[in-house]
Amino acid sequence: MLNDPFQRLGLDREVITVSQLNQRARLLLEDVFPQIWVEGELSNVARPASGHVYFTLKDAKAQVRCAIFKQQASRVRELLRDGLLVRVRGRVSLYEGRGDYQMILDSIEAAGDGALRLAFEALKASLQAEGLFEQKIKRNLPKYPQRIAVVTSPSGAVLHDIVSVFTRRAPHVHLTLIPTAVQGREATAQIVRALSLADAGQYDAMILARGGGSLEDLWCFNEEAVARAIALCQTPIISAIGHETDVSISDFVADVRAPTPSAAAELLAPDRAELLLQLQGSERRLSLRVNETFKRKRMQLQHLRQRLRHPRERLQQHSQRLDDLSMRMQRAMQSQLQRSQQQLTHANLRFKAQDPHSALIIQRQHISDLEQRLLRASEHALQQAKHRLHSLMQTLHVVSPLATLERGYSILSSDNEQHIIKSVQGIQPAQTLKARLADGYLTLHVESITQGS
């Protein structure tokens, strides 16, 4: 399969142009990689007015430029976003004008986290449109809970962290574990059943918790069934899924989102020492009010944190802007250098054009050209004059009386050829007349005269 493109390379000592080199390289790439799937992350997505889309597909070690044309790009518009993991199909080619190695794509589909993030955004938008995230439907957490249901896995550090917080802060609070899987195929159905069971148990509050993990590991908390099960619960729920940076659909639907399972426990565990001091006097009651105000402000801060865009995004935008300005500056410098080179070339040509020797050669050549043009013009004028003379001769011959004589007619005149005889009037018998024919003359004697037509 590789023989044909390699033969076109011309492996002998052959000098070729840059255009020929790029053309052969393109043909070789397109023959070897006519159709291939590649997975990577989108970056530097550009959408010019033509409707085509250009971007870079990259992984941790390399990147490749890609182009998808207008018709195909319109069908995958929602996938063309920076940072999305995708699989692309196309042919490997080379843009001959710049010698850029690239892929020409005809298909794009989400891959790995990219597909999950698209599903996440779609479900989030749908549930938000239904009003499941509205703050006005959120239930307040109890200030002094006595019975709390913990919906999580019985194994792992999450349950231990929650119990440790309540043991330290509020050992009088009764905790009930509602066990469920928090990862895998069965997790979604088990979480829905556990939430329903906990809500029916007349608890003061519930904690839905899981430790950190990848987006795929946490995916059961992004399922629509879990989100709707949380929305149906009448018991206040704190969602504590993953680490502080992890955000799930469950966090949006729950009454309160906690950054970690330990933080969720702290929100529900009243400090025993503070309660004892509050009973001792108004000073402790004032302190408790300040503490409650602080908790509310912290909750508000958590809600605002959810709405606040991560600074990394803004830094990435500024980084891309800086890269774009850098590339524009480089192109401008290259363009200025090319203009300067063109001006220098033009000045050299003008200098050479003003050389007297060159001017003399040019004038001599001009005179020679004029002589050739004069000669050709003279010959042309002579030919035209000959043609006109021949035409006039033909016209004169057509209207000449001689042409009439050649058709069998004759011209009758007096004997001395001074008068042309046009009528029998004035002709006398025995009078001598002359008749001119095409090839000579006749002398005629009138014997009789007959009038009539």
CA distance 196 to 101: 57
The angle at the Cα of 77, spanning 76 to 78, to the nearest 5 degrees, equals 95
CA distance 229 to 225: 6
DSSP codes joined into one string, 136-173: GGPPPPPSS-SEEEEEE-SSSHHHHHHHHHHHHH-TTS
Assess contact for 231 and 253: CB atoms under 8 A: yes
Q: What integer pLDDT is reported at residue 197 of this predicted model?
A: 93
Q: What integer pLDDT is reported at residue 433 of this predicted model?
A: 82
Q: What integer pLDDT is reported at residue 20 of this predicted model?
A: 84
Q: Is 304 left (phi over 0), alpha (psi -120 to 50) or beta?
A: alpha
CA distance readout (Å), 73 to 1, 68, 76, 102: 32, 6, 5, 16
Assess contact for 225 and 171: CB atoms under 8 A: no
pTM above 0.95, yes or no: no
Structure tokens at 335: 């363009």
Q: What integer pLDDT is reported at residue 112 of this predicted model?
A: 63
Q: What integer pLDDT is reported at residue 1 of this predicted model?
A: 44
**Bridge partners (DSSP) listed for residue 57:** 42, 64
Domains of the chain (ranges, CATH numbers):
3-111 (2.40.50.140), 117-135+144-270 (3.40.50.261), 405-445 (no CATH)
Looking at residue 411, the DSSP 8-state letter turns out to be: E
List the one residue out of 212, 257, 211 whose CA is nearest residue 230: 257
Assess contact for 54 and 67: CB atoms under 8 A: yes
Q: In what order do the strands lie in the sheet with 256-257?
A: 174-179, 147-152, 205-210, 237-241, 256-257
CA distance 85 to 320: 19
CA distance 319 to 323: 6
Is residue 135 classed exposed, middle or buried when 0-12, 13-18 and 19+ CB atoms within 10 A define those classes?
exposed
SS3 assignment, position 83: coil
Assess contact for 240 and 264: CB atoms under 8 A: yes
SS3 assignment, position 252: helix
Say which residues have a Cβ less than 8 Å from residue 181's Cβ, sequence separation at least 6.
153, 187, 190, 191, 220
Assess contact for 106 and 90: CB atoms under 8 A: yes
CA distance 446 to 451: 14
CA distance readout (Å), 399 to 105, 196, 375, 395, 405: 82, 124, 36, 7, 11
Tens-level pLDDT at each residue, the chain (453 residues): 444 545 555 555 678 888 888 888 888 887 888 888 888 888 898 888 888 899 999 988 899 999 998 888 877 777 788 878 888 888 888 888 888 888 889 888 777 666 667 777 778 888 888 888 888 889 999 988 999 999 999 887 889 999 999 998 888 899 999 999 988 888 899 999 999 999 998 999 999 998 877 777 788 888 889 899 999 999 999 998 887 777 888 889 899 999 899 999 998 988 777 777 777 776 767 777 888 888 888 888 877 777 766 666 677 677 778 878 888 888 888 988 898 888 888 888 877 767 677 777 778 888 888 888 888 888 888 898 888 888 888 787 777 777 777 777 788 887 776 778 777 777 878 788 888 787 888 888 888 887 765
